[in-house]
Structure 1
Amino acid sequence: MPPRSNPTARQQRLGAELRKLREDAGLSTEQAAALLDTKRTVISSTEAGRHGTSPERVRRIAFVYECTDQALIGALVAMCGDRVRGWWEAYEDVLPSTFLDIAELEWHAQGLRVSTMTHMPGQFQTEAYARALFDAAIPALPPAEYEARVAHRVQRHEAIDRPDAPPYELVVHEGVLRTEVGGRAVLRDQLNHLMTAAERDNVTVQAIPFSAGAFPGSGQSILYARGQVARLDTAELDRATVVEFIHAEAQLCKYRLQLDEMQRIALPPEKTLDLIHAIASQL
């Protein structure tokens, strides 16, 4: 499988973190280039994720920038090693890059916290459920991209199902559980699929009932991916047709608090499964 021709989200994040280290050290690109015996353009390209770097180079950069956070240095070194030729790269020529970036983010996360208010999370969608969602697109998707989106959506479950899968915490609104995407039979199968997924040791599912009323974060879905160190956490938000990746600590803190509150008001996992089973049995 050939590597992606454009920088991946992981490469861009590594470059952004190296830029932060330089700025924290009070160095300009010219000063950093002189200290590292390289060209200013190499510094800029590396920080943009366009120019690859080695573990040894990252350690050298950290030394020159006087970074003493060994946990962070180790995490950055891991990000620049031989990267996984992920399954998502097969879709490079047919899907928007954000689809690939989300799959890559999920794959490398140390833990995932997800809230969804409108439809089932992509990681757990059945093929029929995913098809029903993409069937509703306006304008209609080209056939090749339609099939690729469905296949990519279903394949995202690999991040949760693999033997070394990270912890996954899902908070889903009751409205999602009751919305008949694709019809009653499709929803029933989808709910059964979700209940099966909830049996995995690494998966926790909680439902926010209608009776909970208003709560923080009720207007959007959140995917929060924990990095190897807290500084490398990422939140992914869907804003209409725009996918946004959040790295700023103040915003990350806000989304962590929102997810904490959602989990607090949601039904515990046992009662959530009872609710899902009750809804499925009515279909």
Structure 2
Amino acid sequence: MMRRLIPAVALLTALSALTGCGGGSANGDDGRLSVVTAFYPLQFISERVGGDAVRVSTLTKPGAEPHDVELNAGQVGQVADAGLIVYLSGFQPAVDDAVKRNGGDRGFDAAGTVQPLTAEEADAHAEEEHGANDPHVWLDPERLATIADKLAERLGKADPAHAADFTGRAAALRTELTALDGEFKTGLANCARRELVTSHTAFAYLADRYDLTQIGITGIDPETEPSPQRLAEVAAEAKEHGTTTIFFETLVSPKVAETIAREVGAQTAVLDPIEGLTDDSADYFSAMRANLTALKLGLECS
């Protein structure tokens, strides 16, 4: 029995060595602030705002579905050693737990920097499946700009010598995001329909921002299988609204969307929630503009 316990004790000792230090080393050998981000959109703004004064890593690998990410011992060690951890509470439970246990006061929670959608706001832009608990706040460019502004403030506290640079880069990013917001408002101003049928309810913030109505086949969790009743309801709603395109996501199987499309005689198209990128040449802006193109085609906007 004692011999069986030895490997377990050794593993616990190794994990303690990785996670027990709490404060970690904020700066690497190059003097840059170490910033650990939870998933792509937070990595994107951290790189844009931090510039060459920070060294950014992410806990979610490119192309991985971030909702249910599990952290290995090395990644927990990254959290423990980071100068700043940028995450979105309620989106990735494993990351929330790692920050709580090992992040000390070095966590920057993006969810606490912007006003979330109320149930009434979400329901005003949804049918059947509401998105009041939708975490995809970055699909609203203006809210993402606010998160970037708050991140600049927090980076400035961690690295006062570069505070003005962080603020300047956040302001430049806001200008770009405001321009993107204008492109969406113009592009989606005149459409044949405003009902957005999606494989899962990930677009409440986008729908609210641009006055669309989201009809989600499944709820917030992309792995949830819709019931036959729900499939029939969405098909009926799609027929009622003359839907010609059913949208599915880059990191989720298109089978459910294809089922509805066959039922109503529609086509399918990708609408990216931008949780993670699969194309190395893409970034947040190119992914959002691809979404705008898909929406304009799918909703027949002029």
* Pair in the same fold by TM > 0.5: no
- Relative to the length of structure 1, the TM-score reads 0.29
- Relative to the length of structure 2, the TM-score reads 0.28
